[in-house]
Structure 1
């Protein structure tokens, strides 16, 4: 396997699992670490937002032992940040310290210490990806409006009145901050009848805001999205299997093992030629292209075997719990290519079909899925409607 594709331009993938404005499916910092390493392993450039990198306590614990607060956590993501394997998307013309200070003034939740923001600036400034705050804010607002308008189409009674009140508030904000919308929701709830209908409508408003927030930054940056586990994979009825391999080593999908893998071994993994080819071929597929299927199968076979051997080598004499997982795991990984019967688009998947429900295996789905253009998106700064139609990839499900 040669590294012939390593010279090609990198593809950015936005880590939605670090999204602070969603109900987190993450149980621990180790769980988040496994998810972060998983996506770094299978993408050229993993992006996290500036607010995400600052205001997510579990993420901070993985960067700084001081932020871990005495918990037994591998606080070792610094090499991935300083090398640009993980890049922070920061609003144009601002440092993370400036973002942090502004958030403290607005009383945003989970604002970190100034020293942590300074540390992140030192580590990430050389590889930062900048974005226009006004453009992302406009995309966020447009997305919220679109999703709320969809909710009003078949709504009636207090549900419709609640959503329409939210729309009126959103349209009057310039810019719209997520916290401001949350504060409005709380105020509206306190002043309302408190009926179940109102409570459910406000929950739907909050979900719409969270979904738009999750989409706005990757839309503007032209990035794919590593979506949270709560998103459902495409319906089996609409796809057909193009090829399938069912006897691959499973380690690459083992969240427990990834969560404990030393960063030194991980850095060795991302330099493997087979991994570079795998990432390139998956990237081609994500962009709606036609991957080289034989080369893709060869790459995933070679890299999954290399990873399994690495887990054995690293944990054999150093980690009794990890060794027990390796010794007791008899599952095999499945790799498949599917095709949407309606659009002809290809998708790829990595999963463990025979996994026990108690086992911590990840499940990757890679698809090319357009994000709907928000009404009025054209003409937002340098962003036009064509640029707004960005792909969404899904991944990191629990199998």
Structure 2
């Protein structure tokens, strides 16, 4: 749920399902310091004081305290210090000092430091790169607007997201307000948002989570190496995940089958061939464990969730594939026959360590850029 961009995630409850989905299927979920502070729906998942008026479980504290969710902190600073600096710069959605102190108490032991200068440089270079690509194909007033944005971005050192937003507002106020300008400014906003999303993971060499529309398209060059299609789909059901007590997730993270699954997906993400047969067994075993966990959790306490669980007849698919053009490996969990009205999530783990072949078919501009830059790309969730 990126506050700087339009998000497919509609509520704090929706965000909770996706956060816990990533906790379930990755070794650790890394959240940026700004995101942990300035995203009101995330705050509602940590503190009941932040969730006033929202029907959501404010129960992520055990996951933060245990390090299952870790916060990336700039230059080793406390979140309280980051929060105070943001307040001085009038950043949007700055939380209370009490919330920042609570987060420090929960996360300090497992915090991941990063260099702010490196992330700032990655953010600026990402915006410049994306705008340069757009300028190359633009004409007329669209091109002039994009060139003005590019000139501003290049002049800022460091470039802050807020300063770019302030420039956008000023430019809109002084512009003709034509359709070309409006669309060009929307492109600037998207470029800033996409670069902001990727700059911290890029600096840390971490995987990134994103809407499924950002993922790679299926192509004829992708060959299926292995596929299982008879797995219970409960662990991809957003409704069920959103209602499952956090204690069950903590228990799930201790299961040997889950640990093996996560380690093998980690190897794949780094371009190392996983143990295919044992990986398939681990997925089947863990999906069966999750089915039993749902049953235990909802049997006597949640009639609505129990009805959804009992009525779930869809099957989950686990697949392992390889791109013939790049040699890149990929694995996925999805529900191929799901109805459009059902809230199923999916996971795609991709090896982005292999540079794209020249003219690789079906690879979008973003994915081609990621391959060239050797950016590690991890879980995709819609």
* Structure 1 partner of 2:200: 217
2:381 is the alignment partner of 1:392: no
TM-score, with length taken from structure 1: 0.89
Secondary structure at the counterpart of residue 380 of structure 2? strand
2:127 is the alignment partner of 1:136: no
- On the 8 A contact 1:371/1:392 being kept in 2, the answer is no
Residues 113-163 of structure 1, C-alpha deviation per residue, up to 9 Å, x if partnerless?
110001001110110001111111011111111111111111110111111
Return the offset for 1:104: 1.2
* Structure 2 partner of 1:339: 322
Q: 2:349 aligns with which of 353, 359, 366?
A: 366
2:174 is the alignment partner of 1:188: no
- On the 8 A contact 2:328/2:352 being kept in 1, the answer is no
In 1, Cα distance between equivalents of 2:116 and 2:372: 16
Range with bigger deviation, 48-57 or 23-32? 23-32
Range with bigger deviation, 60-69 or 220-229? 220-229
Secondary structure at the counterpart of residue 214 of structure 2? coil
Return the offset for 1:229: 3.3
In structure 2, list runs of 5 or more residues that go unmatched. 356-370
* Structure 1 partner of 2:209: 226
Residues 174-215 of structure 1, C-alpha deviation per residue, up to 9 Å, x if partnerless?
110001101111111111111101110110011011111111
In 1, Cα distance between equivalents of 2:229 and 2:118: 44
* Structure 2 partner of 1:277: 260
- On the 8 A contact 1:78/1:123 being kept in 2, the answer is yes
Residues 39-63 of structure 1, C-alpha deviation per residue, up to 9 Å, x if partnerless?
1111111100000000101100000
In 2, Cα distance between equivalents of 1:137 and 1:371: 26
Give runs of aligned pairs for residues 51-200 of structure 1, distance below 5 A: 51-200=34-183
Pick closer, same or farther for the CA change 1:63–1:387 going to 2, 3 Å: farther
In 2, Cα distance between equivalents of 1:349 and 1:355: 15
* Structure 2 partner of 1:42: 25
- On the 8 A contact 1:219/1:388 being kept in 2, the answer is no
Return the offset for 1:341: 1.9
In 2, Cα distance between equivalents of 1:200 and 1:276: 46
- On the 8 A contact 1:219/1:387 being kept in 2, the answer is no
Pick closer, same or farther for the CA change 1:371–1:57 going to 2, 3 Å: farther
Residues 346-385 of structure 1, C-alpha deviation per residue, up to 9 Å, x if partnerless?
111111111111111101111123699xxxxxxxxxxxxx
Return the offset for 1:389: 2.7
Q: 1:239 aligns with which of 222, 226, 229?
A: 222
Secondary structure at the counterpart of residue 70 of structure 1? coil
Residues 250-271 of structure 1, C-alpha deviation per residue, up to 9 Å, x if partnerless?
1110111110100111110000
Q: 1:262 aligns with which of 239, 245, 249?
A: 245
* Structure 2 partner of 1:252: 235
In 2, Cα distance between equivalents of 1:353 and 1:42: 19
- On the 8 A contact 2:326/2:354 being kept in 1, the answer is no
Return the offset for 1:226: 1.5
- On the 8 A contact 1:231/1:394 being kept in 2, the answer is no
Secondary structure at the counterpart of residue 393 of structure 1? coil
* Structure 1 partner of 2:2: 19
Return the offset for 1:275: 0.2
In structure 1, list runs of 5 or more residues that go unmatched. 1-17, 373-385
Aligned residue pairs: how many? Answer: 368
In 1, Cα distance between equivalents of 2:271 and 2:158: 34
- On the 8 A contact 1:250/1:352 being kept in 2, the answer is yes
In 2, Cα distance between equivalents of 1:134 and 1:369: 24
**Which structure carries more relative contact order (alpha carbon 8 Å, separation 6+)?**
1
Secondary structure at the counterpart of residue 272 of structure 2? coil
Structure whose residues are more often strand by fraction: 1
In 2, Cα distance between equivalents of 1:388 and 1:79: 36
Residues 206-256 of structure 1, C-alpha deviation per residue, up to 9 Å, x if partnerless?
101111111110111111112233314332333121111110011110111
In 1, Cα distance between equivalents of 2:258 and 2:152: 48
Structure 1 residue ranges (4+ consecutive) displaced by more than 6 angstroms after TM superposition: none
